[in-house]
């Protein structure tokens, strides 16, 4: 029983009469509640694949099948560059999905404040994105993704625009949220250690065109010990699989 | 300071009316008649210019419409003035029509420029959050278009003041600033002070309204 099934996904970009294949024949299944990570270097089409799965990219061949009872309204997305709308306050950014779902104002206010409190942003509800640090912006992005109780959260290199300390803290927060909510997390990254710290399963993509090189189960116990022998062994294995 | 900008044009025109021995009520009536036409023309231009821009800014529609509008904005509108007067008479409607044609294009193209700055991931947020068309228009397109709307307004109104005086003189409509300047065409001093008063009025409107709005709208868009 899978929540998302990819069947022969191929994506070709055409520009000035030239075709460029960015994804070729990707097939795999993702299980409900799984923390699944696509790992690959630049040009492996991992962000494009995430957009195809989330329904943001519609022009591709192959099939994306969703599990029973799952629709696009069950998706949330956390963006690499936060994608907060600069003219809206943090509160208004977070409540967008609830407005779209016609949630009554009182319930909306409560849900937004609950998420903001959870992410330590309650004092910044009326602030605008330009007044926040990178880490706080991404926390607001995470709050926006969580507030609609999604069944799947897509994350496009969510920590890569942050400094290493903030990224580490946010990874832990995301893991905490995942443990708490059991939401299916589908993420892309180019960092092997990040993938190993977070993932239940890692799909390695090769570049130009993006093809599925291997899918790896990560049997390491949680919380992951980043300096353990098991971690190093898997890191070496993944290094061997990645082609540049 | 705000009060000074509010009072300055009125004070100037009051003293000016004494200086030229014209009843203040006549001078202010001329000014307000012209301003009234300008306001009506601006409201119609802003609604149409913004609406067209939102409708045509992207997709296949933009491929066809933008070059067409670019040609249309170059149309020498004054060539059609005699014909318009023939059909509509020397009326406020004729003046308003010509003001609309002057104001609408800067607004249209400035709003298009603002909307072209929409970032791909903002669009993706809208799609993933599932905003409906009304929410897309009011929460997304409207705020993004405001800097363009204000820029277009400043440029459009700048052109429109000139077009308004010219059209009012050519059409020969009574109770208008154009008529005022036409009446004193042989008196360079009155004409010069009239133009000065006109500039004080425009400067005050820009300083009080449009420039603060432009500044505010750009600050809203800072990331």
A26-65: pLDDT as tens digits = 999 999 999 999 999 988 999 999 999 999 999 999 999 9
The whole-number average pLDDT for the span B69-83 is: 86
DSSP codes joined into one string, A111-170: HHHHHHHHTT-GGGTT--GGGS-HHHHHHHHHHHHHTT--SEEEEESTTTTS-HHHHHHH
Among all residues of chain B, which has the CA nearest to that of A148? B129
Nearest to A92 by CA among B137, B147, B140, B142: B140
pTM for this predicted structure? 0.89
CA A63/CA A68 separation, integer angstroms: 16
Asked if ipTM goes beyond 0.90, one says yes
- Mean pLDDT, residues B169-189: 88
The whole-number pLDDT of residue A14 equals 87
**Interval A231-237 mean pLDDT:** 95
Give the dihedral sign, CA B110/B112/B116/B122: positive
As a whole-number percent, the residues of chain B with pLDDT over 90 amount to 53
Q: Under an 8 A CB cutoff, do A86 and B221 touch?
A: yes
Which residues of chain B make contact with A85, given a CB cutoff of 8 A? 122, 125, 140, 143
Å between B220 CA and nearest CA of chain A = 5
| B121 Cβ under 8 Å from any chain A Cβ | yes
Sign of CA dihedral A175, A28, A211, A58: negative
Of A77, A85, A99, the CB nearest to B122: A85
pLDDT, residue A139, reads 96
Q: Report d(CA A36, CA A28) in Å as an integer.
A: 11
Residue A218 pLDDT = 96
CA atoms of A47 and A54, how far apart (whole Å): 11
A234 to chain B, closest Cα gap in Å: 34
- Give the domains, in start order, of chain B with CATH numbers: 31-220 (1.10.3720.10)
Q: Mind listing the pLDDT tens digit for each residue in B44-74?
A: 999 999 999 999 999 888 888 888 888 888 8
From the CA of A30, how many Å to the nearest CA of chain B?
20
**CB < 8 Å to B138, chain A:** none
Mean pLDDT over residues B106-112, rounded?
96
Is A72-190 CATH 3.40.50.300? Answer: yes
Contact residues, B window 131-160, toward A, CB-based 8 Å cutoff: 131-132, 135, 139-140, 143-144
Query: Could you give the CA distance from residue A99 to residue A108 in angstroms, rounded to a whole number?
Result: 8
Residue A221 pLDDT exceeds 90: yes
Nearest Cα to A211, choosing from A55, A8, A5, A50? A8
Binning pLDDT at 50, 70 and 90, where does residue B148 land? very high
List all residues 6 or more positions away from A66 whose beta carbon is below 8 Å from its beta carbon.
A3, A4, A5
Look at A83 and B119 and tell me if their CB atoms are within 8 Å. yes
The answer on pLDDT for A244 being more than 90 is no
How close, in Å, is residue A229 to chain B by CA atoms? 39
Looking at every residue in chain B, the average pLDDT score rounds to 91
Check pLDDT > 80 for residue B5: no
Q: Are A22 and A59 in contact (CB under 8 A)?
A: no
Q: Dump pLDDT digits (tens) for A102-144.
A: 999 999 999 999 999 999 999 999 999 999 999 999 999 999 9
Distance, in Å, from the CA atom of A30 to the CA atom of A4, rounded to the nearest integer, reads 5
The answer to whether A77 contacts B124, with C-beta atoms less than 8 Å apart, is: yes
Please identify which residue in the block is written with the tokens 């993704």.
Answer: A145
For A16, phi and psi rounded to 5 degrees? 50, 40
| CB-CB neighbors (< 8 A) of A83 in chain B | 119, 121-122, 124-125
pLDDT tens column, A65-97: 999 999 999 999 999 999 999 999 999 999 999
Half-sphere exposure of B219 (CA within 13 A, CB side): 8
Size of interface A-B (CB pairs under 8 A): 58
DSSP calls for A48-85: HHHHHHHTS----EEEEEEPTT--GGGEEEE-TT----
- In this predicted structure, the answer to whether residue B21 has a pLDDT above a threshold of 90 is no
């Amino acid at each position: 029983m899978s929540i998302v099934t990819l069947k022969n996904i191929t994506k070709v970009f055409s520009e000035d009469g030239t075709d460029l294949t960015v994804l070729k024949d990707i097939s795999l299944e993702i299980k409900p509640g799984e923390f699944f990570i696509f790992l690959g270097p630049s040009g492996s089409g991992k962000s494009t694949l995430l957009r195809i799965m989330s329904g943001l990219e519609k022009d591709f061949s192959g099939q994306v099948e969703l599990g029973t009872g799952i629709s696009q309204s069950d998706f949330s997305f956390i963006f690499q560059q936060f994608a907060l709308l600069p003219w809206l306050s943090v509160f208004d950014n977070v409540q967008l999905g609830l407005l779209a779902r016609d949630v009554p104002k009182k319930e909306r206010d409560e849900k937004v404040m609950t998420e903001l409190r959870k992410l330590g942003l309650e004092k910044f509800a009326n602030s605008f994105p330009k007044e926040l640090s990178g880490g706080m912006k991404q926390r607001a992005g995470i709050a926006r993704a969580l507030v609609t109780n999604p069944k799947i959260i897509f994350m496009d290199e969510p920590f890569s625009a942050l400094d290493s300390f903030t990224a580490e803290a946010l990874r832990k927060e995301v893991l905490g949220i995942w443990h708490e909510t059991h939401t299916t997390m589908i993420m892309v990254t180019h960092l092997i250690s990040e993938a190993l710290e977070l993932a239940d399963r890692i799909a390695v993509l090769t570049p130009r065109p993006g093809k599925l090189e291997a899918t790896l189960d990560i049997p390491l116990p949680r919380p992951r010990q980043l300096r353990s022998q098991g971690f190093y062994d898997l890191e070496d294995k993944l290094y061997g699989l990645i082609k540049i | 300071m705000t009060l000074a900008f509010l009072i300055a044009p009125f004070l100037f025109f009051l003293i000016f009316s004494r200086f030229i021995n014209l009843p203040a009520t006549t001078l202010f009536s001329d000014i307000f008649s012209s301003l009234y036409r300008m306001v009506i023309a601006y409201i119609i231009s802003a609604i149409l210019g913004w609406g067209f821009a939102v409708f045509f800014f992207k997709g296949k529609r933009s491929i066809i419409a933008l070059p067409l509008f670019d040609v249309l904005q170059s149309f020498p509108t004054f060539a059609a003035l005699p014909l318009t007067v023939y059909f509509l008479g020397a009326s406020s409607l004729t003046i308003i029509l010509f003001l609309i044609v002057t104001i609408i294009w800067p607004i249209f193209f400035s709003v298009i420029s603002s909307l072209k700055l929409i970032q791909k991931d903002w669009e993706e947020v809208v799609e993933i959050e599932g905003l409906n068309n009304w929410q897309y228009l009011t929460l997304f397109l409207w705020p993004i278009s405001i800097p363009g709307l204000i820029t277009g307004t400043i440029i459009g109104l700048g052109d429109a003041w000139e077009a308004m005086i010219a059209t009012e003189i050519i059409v020969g409509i009574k109770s208008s600033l154009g008529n005022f300047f036409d009446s004193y065409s042989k008196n360079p001093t009155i004409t010069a002070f009239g133009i000065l008063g006109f500039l004080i009025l425009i400067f005050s409107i820009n300083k009080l309204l449009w420039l603060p709005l432009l500044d505010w709208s750009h600050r809203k868009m800072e990331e």
